[in-house]
Amino acid sequence: MTGVPETLLRWLEKSWTEEIRERILAGYHEARVTTLRVNTLKTRKSDIVRELGAMGWAWREVEWYEHALILPGRTEPEVLELPMAREGRVYLQSLSAMIPVRILNPQPGESILDMTAAPGGKTTQICAETGNKAGVTACERDSIRAERMKHNLSLQGARATVITGDARQLPDLLRFDRVLLDAPCTGSGTIQVLSEGGERQMTEGWKNRILDTQAALLAKGLSLLKPGGCLVYATCSVLQEENEQQVRQAVDRGWAESVPLEPFSGEIPFLPGETGLTVCPDRQYEGFFVSCLRRTDKGIPAASSMKRRGRKFRG
């Protein structure tokens, strides 16, 4: 299919039936609508809706998340020019990307780690959901992306400790109530044939390196949880290797228990799954996967036994 790498078509064949593959491929050809999240640290949704109405902009609510808005017929560059965006009162974010923090359910007073946090959309969402009353740590390996995240946090009025470095090298003595791992992935859920032009370059070797990174980050994240603490694992991929299989491997090794997740909205195009929720790409949603794991105290590898890469930390 034009615009979709042949390697990705083969990977999809390993993950899904023909019927589901056709749904995913159809989603790749949709022009996705613009969506935003109201930043409750700085404003109220009623104020944002009033401003949009005064400009003659249409908007729609999202049934499963009160702080999300859909802007039919509007582009992201148009939104970025608005005072509400320049002042950090709203944040451009896909609906799918808002799901993990909803599953994480962060609470005031908790210690929370966002392992691969840049550009900071989910970090600022955690801060907003807790009213800046949680101890939030955001980790990012790339120094340029980390600086961009600091800018976004400041603009949004979100309070978090930013650590520049590979989350796999976090000290073993750290412990968190909740961990969010929006893992590096192939991005197989985010393809938009109509807007991207050429095909993405995807190879087996590249995917295998990603799978290794995901597994190491997941093991590390589980090891940093307090007993009984929960980790939300997410990717913007629709490949079972990156999603269900990674979660199942952690469970089979005794590192964690899978927390059952029920589809919480009939509006979201969920695909069948056992250890998490997979979102099928369509006009409103990117392809995405999210699952929740509860730490057990059996056999989580220490950092010293894991292969580690990347920069050392600097706060």
Beta strands in 158-198 (DSSP E): 161-164, 176-182
Is cis: bond before 184, omega within 30 of 0?
A: no
User: Looking at 185, 230, 236, 292, which residue is catalytic?
Assistant: 236
- Tokens of residue 165, six digits: 């470095």
Catalytic site includes residue 280: no
Buried (b) or exposed (e) across 144-172, using 16+ Cβ within 10 A? ebbeebbebbebbbbbbebbbbbbbbbee
CA-nearest of 262, 266, 253, 267 to 290 is 262
Name the maximum alpha-carbon separation found in the chain: 59
Instruction: Give the integer Cα–Cα distance in Å for 294 and 231.
Output: 6
Active site residues: 236
